[in-house]
Amino acid sequence: MRTILVVGGGYAGFYTAWKLEKKLRRGEARVIVVDPRPYMTYQPFLPEVLAGSVESRHAAVSLRRHLRKTKVIAGRVTAIDHANRTATVRPAVGPAFSVGYDIVVVTAGAVTRKLAIPGVADQAIGMKHVEEAVAIRDRLLTAFDQASALEPGPLRRRLLTVTFVGGGFSGVEGFGELLSLATSLQKTSYPELSPDELNFHLVEARDRILPEVSDRPGRWVVRSLEKRGARVHRNAELLSARNGHVVLSTGAEFDSELIVWTVGNAANPMVRSHTDLPIDQSGMLTVRADLRVGTGTGPGAAPVPDAWGAGDDATVPDLAAKRAGAATVPNAQNAVRQGKLLASNIVATLRGRNPKPYVHHSLGTIATLGIGRGIFQYRGLVIKGFPAWLMHRGYHLLAVPTWERKIRVLAVWCTAALFGRDIVSLASVQHPREAFLADAELTPVPTAVPVHA
Ligand SMILES: Cc1cc2nc3c(=O)[nH]c(=O)nc-3n(C[C@H](O)[C@H](O)[C@H](O)COP(=O)(O)OP(=O)(O)OC[C@H]3O[C@@H](n4cnc5c(N)ncnc54)[C@H](O)[C@@H]3O)c2cc1C
Protein backbone atom coordinates (compact mmCIF):
# COMPACT_ATOMS: atom_id res chain seq x y z
CA MET A 1 0.00 0.00 0.00
CA ARG A 2 1.31 3.47 -0.85
CA THR A 3 2.07 6.00 1.86
CA ILE A 4 1.07 9.64 1.49
CA LEU A 5 2.98 11.87 3.90
CA VAL A 6 1.42 15.25 4.68
CA VAL A 7 3.95 17.66 6.22
CA GLY A 8 1.97 20.15 8.33
CA GLY A 9 -1.62 19.69 9.50
CA GLY A 10 -2.73 23.34 9.27
CA TYR A 11 -5.38 24.62 6.88
CA ALA A 12 -4.09 23.08 3.64
CA GLY A 13 -2.71 19.89 5.25
CA PHE A 14 -5.79 19.25 7.40
CA TYR A 15 -8.16 19.59 4.42
CA THR A 16 -5.91 17.42 2.22
CA ALA A 17 -5.90 14.60 4.79
CA TRP A 18 -9.62 15.02 5.58
CA LYS A 19 -10.59 14.77 1.90
CA LEU A 20 -8.15 11.91 1.28
CA GLU A 21 -9.85 9.95 4.08
CA LYS A 22 -13.17 10.40 2.29
CA LYS A 23 -11.94 9.70 -1.25
CA LEU A 24 -9.41 6.89 -0.89
CA ARG A 25 -10.65 3.33 -1.31
CA ARG A 26 -9.78 0.75 1.32
CA GLY A 27 -6.19 -0.39 0.79
CA GLU A 28 -5.48 2.27 -1.87
CA ALA A 29 -3.08 4.34 0.26
CA ARG A 30 -2.45 5.23 3.88
CA VAL A 31 -2.11 8.81 5.05
CA ILE A 32 0.32 10.17 7.65
CA VAL A 33 0.18 13.74 8.95
CA VAL A 34 3.19 15.13 10.81
CA ASP A 35 2.79 18.34 12.80
CA PRO A 36 4.36 19.53 16.05
CA ARG A 37 0.92 20.73 17.14
CA PRO A 38 -1.89 18.22 17.69
CA TYR A 39 -4.40 20.58 16.09
CA MET A 40 -5.14 22.75 13.08
CA THR A 41 -5.33 26.39 14.15
CA TYR A 42 -8.33 28.27 12.79
CA GLN A 43 -6.29 31.47 12.52
CA PRO A 44 -9.17 33.78 11.48
CA PHE A 45 -10.57 33.28 15.00
CA LEU A 46 -7.37 34.44 16.73
CA PRO A 47 -8.42 38.12 16.83
CA GLU A 48 -11.60 37.01 18.62
CA VAL A 49 -9.57 34.79 20.96
CA LEU A 50 -7.62 37.96 21.90
CA ALA A 51 -10.86 39.67 22.71
CA GLY A 52 -12.34 36.73 24.62
CA SER A 53 -15.19 36.32 22.13
CA VAL A 54 -14.00 32.89 21.00
CA GLU A 55 -12.80 30.33 23.54
CA SER A 56 -9.14 29.56 22.80
CA ARG A 57 -9.65 25.80 22.55
CA HIS A 58 -12.39 26.31 19.98
CA ALA A 59 -9.88 27.80 17.54
CA ALA A 60 -7.88 24.55 17.75
CA VAL A 61 -9.32 21.73 15.64
CA SER A 62 -8.00 18.42 16.98
CA LEU A 63 -6.24 16.32 14.31
CA ARG A 64 -6.84 13.05 16.14
CA ARG A 65 -10.54 13.68 16.68
CA HIS A 66 -11.26 14.64 13.07
CA LEU A 67 -8.74 12.57 11.11
CA ARG A 68 -9.84 9.15 12.28
CA LYS A 69 -8.23 7.09 9.51
CA THR A 70 -4.99 9.07 9.36
CA LYS A 71 -1.85 8.31 11.33
CA VAL A 72 -0.95 11.49 13.20
CA ILE A 73 2.67 11.95 14.27
CA ALA A 74 3.44 14.69 16.79
CA GLY A 75 6.75 16.10 15.59
CA ARG A 76 8.46 18.56 13.32
CA VAL A 77 9.77 17.55 9.92
CA THR A 78 13.32 18.86 9.90
CA ALA A 79 14.28 17.70 6.39
CA ILE A 80 12.76 16.16 3.29
CA ASP A 81 15.04 14.02 1.13
CA HIS A 82 12.70 13.57 -1.80
CA ALA A 83 15.29 11.76 -3.94
CA ASN A 84 15.14 8.96 -1.33
CA ARG A 85 11.45 9.53 -0.44
CA THR A 86 12.30 10.08 3.23
CA ALA A 87 11.50 12.77 5.79
CA THR A 88 13.29 13.29 9.08
CA VAL A 89 10.96 13.90 12.02
CA ARG A 90 11.99 15.42 15.33
CA PRO A 91 9.49 14.66 18.10
CA ALA A 92 9.17 16.96 21.10
CA VAL A 93 11.04 14.40 23.22
CA GLY A 94 13.20 11.48 22.15
CA PRO A 95 15.48 10.99 19.19
CA ALA A 96 14.71 12.02 15.59
CA PHE A 97 13.55 9.30 13.20
CA SER A 98 12.90 8.83 9.48
CA VAL A 99 9.55 8.33 7.79
CA GLY A 100 9.52 6.78 4.32
CA TYR A 101 6.81 7.72 1.84
CA ASP A 102 5.68 7.29 -1.75
CA ILE A 103 3.99 10.68 -2.11
CA VAL A 104 4.75 13.84 -0.14
CA VAL A 105 2.39 16.78 0.39
CA VAL A 106 4.20 19.86 1.70
CA THR A 107 1.78 22.12 3.58
CA ALA A 108 3.98 23.47 6.40
CA GLY A 109 2.68 27.06 6.09
CA ALA A 110 4.74 30.19 6.71
CA VAL A 111 6.35 31.62 9.85
CA THR A 112 6.11 35.10 11.37
CA ARG A 113 8.54 37.51 9.68
CA LYS A 114 11.16 38.74 12.15
CA LEU A 115 13.21 41.90 11.84
CA ALA A 116 16.33 42.61 13.89
CA ILE A 117 14.90 45.60 15.77
CA PRO A 118 16.32 46.09 19.28
CA GLY A 119 13.96 44.84 21.97
CA VAL A 120 11.48 43.10 19.67
CA ALA A 121 12.72 39.58 20.38
CA ASP A 122 12.43 40.21 24.16
CA GLN A 123 9.23 42.24 24.28
CA ALA A 124 6.93 41.45 21.36
CA ILE A 125 4.34 38.69 21.01
CA GLY A 126 3.29 37.35 17.59
CA MET A 127 -0.30 36.58 16.61
CA LYS A 128 -0.18 33.37 14.60
CA HIS A 129 -0.76 30.79 17.30
CA VAL A 130 -3.42 30.15 19.94
CA GLU A 131 -0.99 30.52 22.84
CA GLU A 132 0.05 33.96 21.57
CA ALA A 133 -3.56 35.12 21.35
CA VAL A 134 -4.27 33.83 24.87
CA ALA A 135 -1.13 35.52 26.24
CA ILE A 136 -2.04 38.87 24.64
CA ARG A 137 -5.49 38.80 26.19
CA ASP A 138 -4.16 37.78 29.61
CA ARG A 139 -1.50 40.52 29.48
CA LEU A 140 -4.15 43.15 28.79
CA LEU A 141 -6.43 41.89 31.56
CA THR A 142 -3.52 41.71 34.03
CA ALA A 143 -2.42 45.23 33.04
CA PHE A 144 -5.93 46.55 33.79
CA ASP A 145 -5.86 44.93 37.24
CA GLN A 146 -2.41 46.32 37.99
CA ALA A 147 -3.14 49.81 36.64
CA SER A 148 -6.35 50.10 38.64
CA ALA A 149 -4.36 49.78 41.89
CA LEU A 150 -1.97 52.62 40.96
CA GLU A 151 -2.22 56.40 41.12
CA PRO A 152 -2.15 58.10 37.67
CA GLY A 153 1.46 58.39 36.51
CA PRO A 154 4.01 56.92 34.08
CA LEU A 155 3.67 53.32 35.29
CA ARG A 156 -0.10 53.35 35.04
CA ARG A 157 0.16 54.94 31.56
CA ARG A 158 2.61 52.26 30.41
CA LEU A 159 0.33 49.48 31.66
CA LEU A 160 -2.56 50.93 29.66
CA THR A 161 -0.54 51.34 26.45
CA VAL A 162 -0.82 48.74 23.69
CA THR A 163 1.16 48.78 20.44
CA PHE A 164 0.53 46.69 17.34
CA VAL A 165 3.34 46.71 14.79
CA GLY A 166 2.03 45.90 11.30
CA GLY A 167 -1.23 47.19 9.82
CA GLY A 168 -2.01 44.27 7.54
CA PHE A 169 -5.07 42.11 7.78
CA SER A 170 -4.30 40.18 10.98
CA GLY A 171 -2.78 43.26 12.69
CA VAL A 172 -5.82 45.45 12.06
CA GLU A 173 -8.25 42.71 13.10
CA GLY A 174 -6.33 41.97 16.31
CA PHE A 175 -5.96 45.70 17.07
CA GLY A 176 -9.67 46.40 16.53
CA GLU A 177 -10.75 43.43 18.64
CA LEU A 178 -8.38 44.22 21.53
CA LEU A 179 -9.44 47.88 21.46
CA SER A 180 -13.04 46.77 21.69
CA LEU A 181 -12.24 44.56 24.71
CA ALA A 182 -10.25 47.32 26.44
CA THR A 183 -12.97 49.93 25.89
CA SER A 184 -15.69 47.69 27.25
CA LEU A 185 -13.53 46.62 30.23
CA GLN A 186 -12.93 50.23 31.18
CA LYS A 187 -16.64 51.09 30.88
CA THR A 188 -18.10 48.08 32.64
CA SER A 189 -15.54 46.93 35.19
CA TYR A 190 -12.82 49.51 35.90
CA PRO A 191 -14.39 52.77 37.12
CA GLU A 192 -10.95 53.78 38.54
CA LEU A 193 -9.64 54.18 34.99
CA SER A 194 -10.78 56.85 32.58
CA PRO A 195 -11.29 56.25 28.83
CA ASP A 196 -8.59 58.75 27.81
CA GLU A 197 -6.01 56.76 29.75
CA LEU A 198 -6.18 53.95 27.18
CA ASN A 199 -3.42 54.35 24.60
CA PHE A 200 -3.72 52.13 21.54
CA HIS A 201 -1.05 52.58 18.84
CA LEU A 202 -1.08 50.89 15.44
CA VAL A 203 2.25 51.28 13.64
CA GLU A 204 2.51 50.76 9.88
CA ALA A 205 5.56 51.40 7.67
CA ARG A 206 3.51 52.11 4.54
CA ASP A 207 1.21 55.06 3.94
CA ARG A 208 -1.91 52.93 4.36
CA ILE A 209 -3.22 50.06 6.42
CA LEU A 210 -5.20 46.99 5.34
CA PRO A 211 -3.79 46.68 1.80
CA GLU A 212 -6.34 43.93 1.09
CA VAL A 213 -9.06 46.60 0.65
CA SER A 214 -8.86 49.61 -1.68
CA ASP A 215 -7.92 53.17 -0.63
CA ARG A 216 -11.31 54.59 0.41
CA PRO A 217 -12.41 51.74 2.66
CA GLY A 218 -8.83 51.66 4.00
CA ARG A 219 -9.15 55.34 5.00
CA TRP A 220 -12.55 54.62 6.56
CA VAL A 221 -10.97 51.94 8.75
CA VAL A 222 -8.32 54.45 9.94
CA ARG A 223 -11.00 57.06 10.74
CA SER A 224 -13.14 54.50 12.51
CA LEU A 225 -10.21 53.34 14.71
CA GLU A 226 -9.24 56.95 15.45
CA LYS A 227 -12.81 57.82 16.45
CA ARG A 228 -12.55 55.04 19.01
CA GLY A 229 -9.49 56.74 20.54
CA ALA A 230 -6.73 54.79 18.77
CA ARG A 231 -3.66 56.35 17.20
CA VAL A 232 -2.70 55.05 13.73
CA HIS A 233 0.93 55.86 12.83
CA ARG A 234 1.39 55.54 9.06
CA ASN A 235 4.76 55.91 7.27
CA ALA A 236 6.22 54.97 10.65
CA GLU A 237 8.83 52.30 11.29
CA LEU A 238 9.59 50.79 14.65
CA LEU A 239 13.23 51.60 15.47
CA SER A 240 13.41 50.15 18.97
CA ALA A 241 11.27 48.46 21.58
CA ARG A 242 14.01 47.98 24.17
CA ASN A 243 12.51 47.42 27.66
CA GLY A 244 9.09 48.23 26.23
CA HIS A 245 10.12 51.77 25.24
CA VAL A 246 8.80 52.22 21.69
CA VAL A 247 10.73 54.53 19.37
CA LEU A 248 9.29 55.25 15.91
CA SER A 249 11.00 56.71 12.84
CA THR A 250 8.53 59.63 13.01
CA GLY A 251 10.06 60.74 16.31
CA ALA A 252 7.19 59.45 18.46
CA GLU A 253 8.29 57.66 21.66
CA PHE A 254 6.28 56.03 24.42
CA ASP A 255 6.39 53.16 26.92
CA SER A 256 4.16 50.24 26.08
CA GLU A 257 3.37 47.26 28.28
CA LEU A 258 2.07 45.15 25.40
CA ILE A 259 3.71 45.02 21.97
CA VAL A 260 2.12 42.77 19.36
CA TRP A 261 4.12 41.89 16.25
CA THR A 262 1.97 41.44 13.14
CA VAL A 263 4.29 42.36 10.27
CA GLY A 264 3.43 39.37 8.09
CA ASN A 265 4.93 36.10 6.98
CA ALA A 266 8.32 34.72 5.98
CA ALA A 267 9.09 31.44 4.21
CA ASN A 268 9.06 28.30 6.33
CA PRO A 269 12.76 27.62 7.18
CA MET A 270 12.37 23.87 6.66
CA VAL A 271 11.01 24.38 3.15
CA ARG A 272 13.51 27.13 2.36
CA SER A 273 16.65 25.31 3.50
CA HIS A 274 16.09 21.63 4.23
CA THR A 275 14.54 19.93 1.22
CA ASP A 276 15.77 18.97 -2.25
CA LEU A 277 12.46 20.21 -3.71
CA PRO A 278 12.56 23.31 -5.94
CA ILE A 279 11.95 26.67 -4.30
CA ASP A 280 11.81 30.22 -5.65
CA GLN A 281 13.83 33.29 -4.59
CA SER A 282 11.62 33.92 -1.56
CA GLY A 283 12.11 30.36 -0.30
CA MET A 284 8.63 29.19 -1.33
CA LEU A 285 7.97 25.83 -2.91
CA THR A 286 7.32 26.24 -6.65
CA VAL A 287 3.99 24.61 -7.41
CA ARG A 288 2.20 24.20 -10.75
CA ALA A 289 -1.44 25.05 -11.28
CA ASP A 290 -2.37 21.38 -10.68
CA LEU A 291 -0.64 21.65 -7.26
CA ARG A 292 2.19 19.30 -8.16
CA VAL A 293 5.57 20.66 -7.15
CA GLY A 294 7.17 21.88 -10.37
CA THR A 295 10.51 23.09 -11.67
CA GLY A 296 8.70 26.44 -11.83
CA THR A 297 5.16 27.76 -11.59
CA GLY A 298 4.52 28.62 -15.24
CA PRO A 299 2.72 26.48 -17.82
CA GLY A 300 5.99 24.95 -19.10
CA ALA A 301 7.21 23.80 -15.66
CA ALA A 302 7.85 20.07 -15.39
CA PRO A 303 6.26 18.26 -12.44
CA VAL A 304 8.47 16.73 -9.76
CA PRO A 305 7.13 13.16 -9.46
CA ASP A 306 5.23 12.32 -6.25
CA ALA A 307 5.54 15.79 -4.69
CA TRP A 308 2.63 18.17 -4.06
CA GLY A 309 2.34 21.48 -2.26
CA ALA A 310 -0.22 24.13 -1.26
CA GLY A 311 -0.96 26.95 1.15
CA ASP A 312 1.30 29.64 2.59
CA ASP A 313 4.56 27.73 1.97
CA ALA A 314 4.01 27.55 -1.79
CA THR A 315 3.90 29.86 -4.80
CA VAL A 316 0.85 28.70 -6.74
CA PRO A 317 -0.07 30.32 -10.08
CA ASP A 318 -3.30 32.30 -9.88
CA LEU A 319 -5.21 31.31 -13.01
CA ALA A 320 -8.17 33.51 -11.99
CA ALA A 321 -6.03 36.67 -12.10
CA LYS A 322 -5.72 38.59 -15.35
CA ARG A 323 -2.01 39.36 -14.75
CA ALA A 324 0.45 36.86 -16.19
CA GLY A 325 2.73 35.38 -13.52
CA ALA A 326 0.35 36.23 -10.63
CA ALA A 327 0.41 33.90 -7.61
CA THR A 328 -2.51 33.05 -5.33
CA VAL A 329 -2.78 35.21 -2.19
CA PRO A 330 -1.56 33.39 0.94
CA ASN A 331 -4.85 33.16 2.81
CA ALA A 332 -7.24 30.62 4.23
CA GLN A 333 -9.65 31.00 1.31
CA ASN A 334 -6.96 29.58 -0.97
CA ALA A 335 -5.36 27.14 1.49
CA VAL A 336 -8.68 25.33 2.14
CA ARG A 337 -9.59 25.04 -1.52
CA GLN A 338 -6.08 24.05 -2.53
CA GLY A 339 -6.07 21.33 0.16
CA LYS A 340 -9.38 19.91 -1.10
CA LEU A 341 -8.29 19.96 -4.76
CA LEU A 342 -4.92 18.50 -3.85
CA ALA A 343 -6.63 15.46 -2.32
CA SER A 344 -8.81 15.00 -5.43
CA ASN A 345 -5.79 15.37 -7.70
CA ILE A 346 -3.73 12.81 -5.79
CA VAL A 347 -6.60 10.33 -5.97
CA ALA A 348 -7.02 11.08 -9.71
CA THR A 349 -3.35 10.38 -10.44
CA LEU A 350 -3.42 7.20 -8.34
CA ARG A 351 -6.25 6.03 -10.60
CA GLY A 352 -4.51 7.05 -13.82
CA ARG A 353 -6.52 10.23 -14.42
CA ASN A 354 -5.18 13.74 -14.99
CA PRO A 355 -5.12 16.29 -12.12
CA LYS A 356 -7.18 19.47 -12.50
CA PRO A 357 -5.77 23.01 -12.29
CA TYR A 358 -6.53 25.20 -9.28
CA VAL A 359 -8.75 28.16 -10.18
CA HIS A 360 -10.41 30.26 -7.50
CA HIS A 361 -12.05 33.65 -7.88
CA SER A 362 -11.70 35.59 -4.63
CA LEU A 363 -14.84 35.87 -2.51
CA GLY A 364 -13.69 39.31 -1.35
CA THR A 365 -12.15 40.51 1.91
CA ILE A 366 -13.90 40.61 5.24
CA ALA A 367 -12.41 41.80 8.52
CA THR A 368 -13.67 42.28 12.06
CA LEU A 369 -12.73 45.54 13.78
CA GLY A 370 -14.18 44.65 17.18
CA ILE A 371 -17.66 43.77 18.41
CA GLY A 372 -20.30 45.24 16.10
CA ARG A 373 -17.76 46.65 13.63
CA GLY A 374 -16.33 45.27 10.42
CA ILE A 375 -15.53 45.87 6.78
CA PHE A 376 -16.24 43.84 3.67
CA GLN A 377 -15.14 44.49 0.13
CA TYR A 378 -15.87 42.54 -3.03
CA ARG A 379 -14.60 44.46 -6.07
CA GLY A 380 -16.54 47.78 -5.99
CA LEU A 381 -18.96 46.67 -3.29
CA VAL A 382 -18.04 47.88 0.20
CA ILE A 383 -20.07 47.11 3.34
CA LYS A 384 -19.05 48.79 6.61
CA GLY A 385 -19.92 48.62 10.28
CA PHE A 386 -22.45 46.29 11.88
CA PRO A 387 -23.67 44.43 8.74
CA ALA A 388 -20.06 43.65 7.77
CA TRP A 389 -19.34 42.38 11.28
CA LEU A 390 -22.41 40.10 11.14
CA MET A 391 -21.26 38.83 7.76
CA HIS A 392 -17.81 38.16 9.23
CA ARG A 393 -19.25 36.06 12.03
CA GLY A 394 -21.64 34.24 9.68
CA TYR A 395 -18.90 33.48 7.18
CA HIS A 396 -16.49 32.08 9.75
CA LEU A 397 -19.18 30.08 11.49
CA LEU A 398 -19.86 28.38 8.18
CA ALA A 399 -16.16 28.06 7.36
CA VAL A 400 -14.80 26.60 10.61
CA PRO A 401 -14.48 22.86 10.00
CA THR A 402 -16.89 20.37 11.59
CA TRP A 403 -20.32 20.85 13.16
CA GLU A 404 -18.89 20.22 16.59
CA ARG A 405 -16.67 23.36 16.30
CA LYS A 406 -19.47 25.47 14.82
CA ILE A 407 -21.82 24.63 17.71
CA ARG A 408 -19.17 25.29 20.36
CA VAL A 409 -18.27 28.70 18.85
CA LEU A 410 -21.92 29.70 18.42
CA ALA A 411 -22.67 28.72 22.03
CA VAL A 412 -19.91 31.02 23.33
CA TRP A 413 -21.10 33.92 21.16
CA CYS A 414 -24.67 33.46 22.47
CA THR A 415 -23.66 33.25 26.14
CA ALA A 416 -21.36 36.30 25.73
CA ALA A 417 -24.26 38.24 24.16
CA LEU A 418 -26.34 37.46 27.29
CA PHE A 419 -23.74 37.68 30.07
CA GLY A 420 -20.73 39.49 28.53
CA ARG A 421 -17.24 38.17 27.97
CA ASP A 422 -15.10 36.48 30.62
CA ILE A 423 -12.70 39.09 31.94
CA VAL A 424 -10.41 37.19 34.30
CA SER A 425 -6.73 36.93 33.44
CA LEU A 426 -5.30 33.46 33.85
CA ALA A 427 -1.74 34.57 33.12
CA SER A 428 -0.74 32.73 36.29
CA VAL A 429 -1.15 29.38 34.46
CA GLN A 430 2.29 30.12 33.01
CA HIS A 431 3.75 29.68 36.51
CA PRO A 432 1.60 27.07 38.25
CA ARG A 433 4.17 26.34 40.97
CA GLU A 434 4.28 29.97 42.13
CA ALA A 435 1.00 29.63 44.06
CA PHE A 436 2.13 26.35 45.54
CA LEU A 437 5.49 27.78 46.64
CA ALA A 438 3.94 31.00 47.98
CA ASP A 439 1.54 28.93 50.13
CA ALA A 440 4.46 26.87 51.40
CA GLU A 441 6.30 30.03 52.49
CA LEU A 442 3.41 31.11 54.72
CA THR A 443 2.76 27.72 56.28
CA PRO A 444 5.27 26.99 59.05
CA VAL A 445 7.08 23.73 58.53
CA PRO A 446 6.17 21.39 61.42
CA THR A 447 9.29 20.69 63.41
CA ALA A 448 9.81 17.50 65.30
CA VAL A 449 9.31 18.04 69.06
CA PRO A 450 12.26 16.53 70.97
CA VAL A 451 11.16 13.88 73.35
CA HIS A 452 13.10 13.76 76.65
CA ALA A 453 13.26 10.53 78.42
C1 LIG B 1 -4.48 36.29 12.94
C2 LIG B 1 -4.75 35.75 11.56
C3 LIG B 1 -6.01 35.95 10.98
C4 LIG B 1 -6.26 35.47 9.70
N5 LIG B 1 -7.50 35.68 9.16
C6 LIG B 1 -7.76 35.23 7.91
C7 LIG B 1 -9.04 35.43 7.34
O8 LIG B 1 -9.94 36.02 7.97
N9 LIG B 1 -9.27 34.96 6.09
C10 LIG B 1 -8.31 34.29 5.38
O11 LIG B 1 -8.57 33.86 4.24
N12 LIG B 1 -7.07 34.08 5.90
C13 LIG B 1 -6.78 34.52 7.15
N14 LIG B 1 -5.54 34.31 7.69
C15 LIG B 1 -4.52 33.58 6.91
C16 LIG B 1 -4.70 32.06 6.99
O17 LIG B 1 -4.95 31.65 8.30
C18 LIG B 1 -3.48 31.35 6.41
O19 LIG B 1 -3.30 31.81 5.10
C20 LIG B 1 -3.67 29.84 6.42
O21 LIG B 1 -3.65 29.36 7.74
C22 LIG B 1 -2.56 29.15 5.62
O23 LIG B 1 -2.75 27.77 5.69
P24 LIG B 1 -1.50 26.78 5.63
O25 LIG B 1 -2.04 25.40 5.73
O26 LIG B 1 -0.64 27.10 4.46
O27 LIG B 1 -0.61 27.12 6.89
P28 LIG B 1 -1.01 26.97 8.42
O29 LIG B 1 -2.47 26.99 8.62
O30 LIG B 1 -0.17 27.98 9.13
O31 LIG B 1 -0.51 25.50 8.78
C32 LIG B 1 0.84 25.11 8.72
C33 LIG B 1 0.99 23.92 9.66
O34 LIG B 1 2.27 23.34 9.44
C35 LIG B 1 2.87 23.03 10.68
N36 LIG B 1 4.32 23.04 10.47
C37 LIG B 1 5.12 24.11 10.32
N38 LIG B 1 6.41 23.70 10.12
C39 LIG B 1 6.37 22.34 10.16
C40 LIG B 1 7.37 21.34 10.03
N41 LIG B 1 8.64 21.66 9.82
N42 LIG B 1 6.98 20.04 10.14
C43 LIG B 1 5.68 19.71 10.34
N44 LIG B 1 4.68 20.63 10.47
C45 LIG B 1 5.05 21.91 10.36
C46 LIG B 1 2.37 24.12 11.61
O47 LIG B 1 2.44 23.69 12.96
C48 LIG B 1 0.93 24.30 11.12
O49 LIG B 1 0.04 23.46 11.80
C50 LIG B 1 -5.25 34.78 8.98
C51 LIG B 1 -4.01 34.57 9.57
C52 LIG B 1 -3.75 35.05 10.85
C53 LIG B 1 -2.38 34.81 11.47
Residue partners of 56: CB distance under 8 A and separation at least 6: 49, 130, 133, 134
- The confidence score (pLDDT) of residue 434 equals 85
- The confidence score (pLDDT) of residue 448 equals 65
- The confidence score (pLDDT) of residue 300 equals 86
d(CA 102, CA 86): 9
Q: What is the CA(399)–ligand 1 centre distance, in A?
A: 15
11 ligand 1 Cβ < 6 A: yes
Please report the atom of ligand 1 found closest to the CA of residue 392. 8
d(CA 77, CA 270): 8
126 ligand 1 Cβ < 6 A: no
- Residue spans of beta strands (DSSP E) within 97-197: 97-100, 103-106, 111-112, 124-125, 161-165
Q: What are phi and psi of 166, to 5 degrees?
A: 115, 110
Query: Measured between alpha carbons, how far is residue 185 from residues 153, 198, 386 in Å?
Result: 20, 11, 20
Probe target for ligand 1 pocket from 312, 315, 334, with the most ligand atoms within 8 Å of CB: 312
The answer to whether 233 touches 203, Cβ cutoff 8 Å, is yes
355 ligand 1 Cβ < 6 A: no
Probe target for ligand 1 pocket from 35, 37, 107, 265, with the most ligand atoms within 8 Å of CB: 35
77 ligand 1 Cβ < 6 A: yes
Q: Model confidence over 422-443: pLDDT tens digits?
A: 999 888 888 888 888 877 666 6
43 ligand 1 Cβ < 6 A: yes
Whole-prediction pTM: 0.94
- The confidence score (pLDDT) of residue 442 equals 63
The answer to whether 92 touches 73, Cβ cutoff 8 Å, is no
Spans of the chain below 70 pLDDT:
440-453
- The confidence score (pLDDT) of residue 172 equals 98
- The confidence score (pLDDT) of residue 441 equals 65
* Nearest protein Cα to ligand 1, atom 6: 44
Q: What is the CA(332)–ligand 1 centre distance, in A?
A: 7
Q: At what angle do helices 386-399 and 403-419 cross, to 10 degrees?
A: 150
- One-letter amino acid for residue 184 of the chain: S
d(CA 60, CA 38): 9
The answer to whether 236 touches 252, Cβ cutoff 8 Å, is yes
**Burial tier of 300 (Cβ tally within 10 Å: 0-12, 13-18, 19+):** exposed
The answer to whether 270 touches 301, Cβ cutoff 8 Å, is no
331 ligand 1 Cβ < 6 A: yes
- The confidence score (pLDDT) of residue 298 equals 84
Please report the atom of ligand 1 found closest to the CA of residue 271. 41
Please report the atom of ligand 1 found closest to the CA of residue 133. 1
- The confidence score (pLDDT) of residue 451 equals 62
Please report the atom of ligand 1 found closest to the CA of residue 13. 25
CA contacts within 13 A on the Cβ side of 99: 30
